[in-house]
Amino acid sequence: MRVYILICCVAIFGIAQAQTTTMFVYEGKFNSSFGRADNFRQFKGTLIVSGDRSLFTMKESGVHLASVQGNNIDLRPDSMFTVFKDVESNSLLFEFSDLNQRTHLFADTLFPMDWKTIEEERSIGGIPCRKAVTQFKGRGYTAWYAPTITIPDGPWKLGGLPGLILEAYDDEDNWHMTFVSKQEVQGFDQDHFLAAMKKGTEGFPAFVAQVRKIFSRLEASLGAQSSANCVDCQTKSVLKIHSWEKID
């Protein structure tokens, strides 16, 4: 009986260890008017890591809705505010909210970044870090990763380095996330993402098509409004898509 109890205890302990989940908390900023003006807002990011799976979310304190201002289309929260990664299946899903705030999931390549390590070191939160840079989807990024935290992950879609990314920012510093703390948590709901992966999720080209579809509808709508406001004239709306990841 004692042997049986001991085996059960070991098994339970092993399960508890396997289910250990850590949440890494980041703080930073995002300029929603990137490339046009300064409209910086403060954000909190969380990267919840459970085994080979993780969920990154980035949220600001206020309400941030998609908008059309002048001749600019702002598609927010774009492709960078909710990202699910599964290293074992080499999968990445990101969430996109359209102008009606309806969410859609799209797939993307997991860690395609070609990182170049730099001979620079610094400490973040008392943790030794090394520097790396890359070009990804039309932007340059700098990352400071911690070799002592052997998790090849980081904020947003970034990852693939030999250590957790504790700080990351683009070359223009329009987006900047820095690690501030960590804590053990109970885990996170993976079923929604796993079900989408099993069903099959459209990739980044489908995301681009969705953005262009929204763009075309808005262009047609604004063009019709302009025509209705004039007599015997021809008008054509001139709109620009502003998306964080480069869309050709």
**Does residue 92 sit within a domain?**
yes
pLDDT at 136: 96
Q: What is the pLDDT of residue 61?
A: 64
Asked if the structure places residue 84 within a domain, the reply is yes
Q: Is residue 127 part of a domain?
A: yes
How far apart CA 226 and CA 232 sit, in angstroms, is: 12
The tally of domains found in the chain comes to 1
Q: Quick check: is 78 in a domain?
A: yes
CB count, 10 Å around CB of 91? 19
Identify the residue whose tokens are 């947003």. Answer: 156
7 lies in some domain: no
Q: Do the domain assignments include residue 13?
A: no
The whole-number pLDDT of residue 49 equals 97
What is d(CA 144, CA 158) in angstroms, rounded to the nearest whole number? Answer: 11
Q: Which of 230, 233, 58 is closest to 156 using CA atoms?
A: 58
- In 3D space, the residue among 106, 87, 89, 90 whose CA is nearest the CA of residue 98 turns out to be 106
Q: Which domain holds residue 88?
A: 21-242
pLDDT given for residue 118 in this prediction: 96
Residue 4 is assigned to a structural domain of this protein: no
What are all long-range contacts of 127-135, with beta carbons under 8 Å and residues at least 24 apart? 127/166, 127/179, 129/163, 129/166, 129/167, 130/163, 132/161
Q: The CATH number of the domain where 119 resides is what?
A: 2.50.20
- Is residue 59 a part of any domain in this protein? yes
Q: Quote the pLDDT of residue 13.
A: 37
ω into residue 147 within 30 of 0, thus cis?
A: no
Q: What is the pLDDT of residue 218?
A: 76
Helix, strand or coil, per DSSP, at residue 2: helix
Low-confidence ranges of the chain (pLDDT < 70): 1-19, 61-79, 222-241, 248
Residue-level pLDDT at 34: 87
